[in-house]
Amino acid sequence: MNLPSIGQIPSDVVAAWIFTIIVGIVLLVWLTKLKKWPVVFEYMRTTHHRKIGTMYILFAIIFFFRAGMDAMLIRTQLAVPKNDFWVFQGDKYNEVFTTHGTIMIFFVAMPLLIGLMNVAVPLQIGANDLAFPYLNAISFWFFLAGGLIFNMSFFMNSAPNAGWTAYAPLSTDTYTPGPNINYYILGLQVSGLGTIFTAINMIVTVIRLRAPGLKLSKMPLFPWSTLVTSSLILVAFPVLTIALVLLMFDRFYGTSFFTGEIGSPVYWQHLFWIFGHPEVYILILPAFGVFSDVISNFSRKKVYGYTSMVIALALIGLLGFMVWAHHMFTVGMGPLANSVFAITTMLIAIPTGVKVFNWLFTMRGGVIRMKTPMLFALGFIPTFVMGGVTGVMLAVAAADYQYHDSYFVVAHFHYTMVGGTILGAFAGIYYWYPKMTGKVLDDKLGRWHFWLFLIGFHLTFLPQHFAGLNGMPRRVYTYTWADNVFIFNAISTVGAYLMGISMLFVIWNLYKTHRYGKKADGDPWDGRTLDWSVASPAPEHPFNPMPKVKRMDEFWYRKVNNKGLEYADDPRPSPISVETYQPIILAGVMIALSIAFIYLWVWLQVILGAGVLSFLVIRSLTDERRQAYREEERS
């Protein structure tokens, strides 16, 4: 499309601008009409874990629709051989699969899980808030800033185009000049910082803020998975940070770490996967935690093999660091390295298998209620097992030479990431929705969502195994009739549309629930853990008085025996919450600073960098602990 005074712009970018402006105006009018602005401002300055968790999930779902659009475009382009759909060929196609992958991992899966952690973990362990409420707000606004930076690229017609793994040397300035990859680097850097802060927050909360008597050995499995996941984040994300810094130096400042005569492209792969493989366990372990709690709740039984569940979580976390090179079997590391990484990879199937059997045994003999969260858990088990089996197949290094970079791999990781993480996130959202908003999502529409999504999912990704085995490589924008993969791709496209339709039921459900839904009480699922002992939606500082815990699922056993919770006399002081606009303003400055880096405006980098640092000074001078400590001094 040739626009006056702007130049050649692809028509999809123009369409996105128009769509966004219209939606933006509608949203502004709607908010004004319903007089919702005070609520918006309240959320902008909040540091409360439930509100921040809700915002995480809200924006994750918005990004889910954004990256889901990419998926629809990909599947439409691939529906028939030699297709020429809209503009999505060649480099434009590279952009679409890059933004699809990156957004889905960093701006959908991560915030969905972190959002659930925010909502549920403090409530499940009897903490009145996360240990550092202010830092938590920073984490959220950094995530959103990163997401906005990354998505801005598309509107500037320079979406990243080197795949979500940004392999060098393709991602260096020699082969991808222009700002595209800069957006990728800065977007991930800012949101990654937020993730690291969240991990610190979660660990301190779980270690130090549990209710009196709630030992680690009696803690529900979702906080356990949060603890393990956060520890993985602490080791994995700093490596990504440095890898991105080095890539930035290659692109901006003339070094050649990953390219040229003296650089090493394989070193990028090592760094990326030392981050990237733990990352996929970071994404799956919280989902495991959700399923453990959901299955136990809706089977009215305590989790089978609790100790082995915890050990399995820890083992998966530990082994997760020893498998990164299985993404690199074909780069020529040699037979010894390949064998070692093949074996460690296969070992992970053992603790995962333990968990699968424990979930099944948890249900055995239980009183099973088929509510929507439980349906997602039941759909997860066979789906994830299939993803696990193809994972073991891929771990066979010799066979991987055949599978590598084919649609078989695409099918495999969608079975684990969608079949595990996304189904887990849906289960968690339906399960904790009352705690977030005070209403239970409609069960009937939830069922529609579940069945359409699950059937659509298998229709999409099961055929991709066969397309891959027939030799279809990933990241290609077309294929021919002679390639013999048409039928698989056609079914896949139908399935993708079915998944898209299922997500419309989510929107319908949200509308119906909030329009007609009744207010939920504190314990709508007849729950077992402490989160169900407080009101819905969870109030600020709900554990007052502080419950005392003697065994696992204390709330449940007290309830069954018709007794109330016992309360502790002298609980530790709670974290101090504040209301402040500082985090959101800081995130705004971070966005501006990132743009200064993306377009290499040095003077702006200096000014805005000083701006970011000045927030640390402001923070130190306006410390909310001052008041509390002053009172303590007087007493």
**Cβ 195 vs Cβ 139: under 8 Å:** yes
* CA–CA dist 568, 128 (Å, integer): 14
Q: How far is the CB of 126 from other proteins (least distance, A)?
A: 15
Q: How far is the CB of 263 from other proteins (least distance, A)?
A: 7
Q: Nearest 5°: phi and psi at 43?
A: -70, -30
Choice between 225 and 574, CB closer to other proteins: 574
Contact 157/126 with Cβ under 8 angstroms? no
Q: Are 372 and 443 in contact (CB under 8 A)?
A: yes
Residue type at position 72: M
CB of 277 to other proteins, least distance (A): 15
Residue of 237, 308, 243, 336 lying closest to 277 (CA atoms): 237
Is the distance from CB of 144 to CB of 103 less than 8 angstroms?
no
Instruction: Give residues in contact with other proteins (CB under 8 A).
Output: 131-132, 135, 196, 199-201, 203-204, 207-209, 234-235, 237-239, 241-243, 245-246, 249, 253-257, 261-264, 267, 271, 572-573, 575-576, 613, 617, 620-621, 623, 625-626, 628-630, 632-633, 635
Q: How many residues are listed for the chain in this entry?
A: 635
Cβ proximity to other proteins: between 206 and 459 the closer is 206
In angstroms, what CA-CA distances link 390 with 99, 331, 396, 399, 489?
25, 21, 10, 12, 19
Query: Measured between alpha carbons, how far is 292 from 302 in angstroms, rounded to an integer?
Result: 9
Q: Which of 613, 575, 609 is nearest to 129 (CA)?
A: 575
**543 half-sphere exposure, CB direction, 13 A CA radius:** 31
What's the closest the beta carbon of residue 250 comes to other proteins, in angstroms?
A: 9
Least distance to other proteins from the beta carbon of 289, Å? Answer: 20
User: Is 362 or 580 the residue whose CB approaches other proteins more closely?
Assistant: 580
> Which C-beta is closer to other proteins: that of 64 or that of 324?
324
Largest CA distance in the chain: 84
Can you list the alpha helix ranges (DSSP code H) found in 299-334?
Answer: 306-319
Q: To the nearest whole angstrom, how small is the minimum distance from the Cβ of residue 158 to other proteins?
A: 25
- Min CB(623)–other proteins separation in Å: 7
Measured from the CB atom, the residue of 5 and 635 that comes closer to other proteins is: 635
- In angstroms, the first-to-last Cα distance of the chain is 71
Angle at 265 between CA 262 and CA 271, to 5 degrees: 115
Is the Cβ of residue 268 or residue 505 nearer to other proteins in the bound state? 268
Residues with Cβ < 8 Å from 179, sequence gap 6 or more? 153, 156, 158, 598, 599
Q: Minimum distance from CB of 572 to other proteins (Å)? A: 5
Whole-number minimum distance, CB 249 to other proteins, in Å?
6
The partner residues of 111 in beta bridges, in order of sequence, read: none
Among residues 444 and 572, whose Cβ is nearest to other proteins?
572
**Closer CB to other proteins, 76 or 256, in the complex:** 256
- Whichever of 237 and 431 has its CB closer to other proteins, that residue is 237
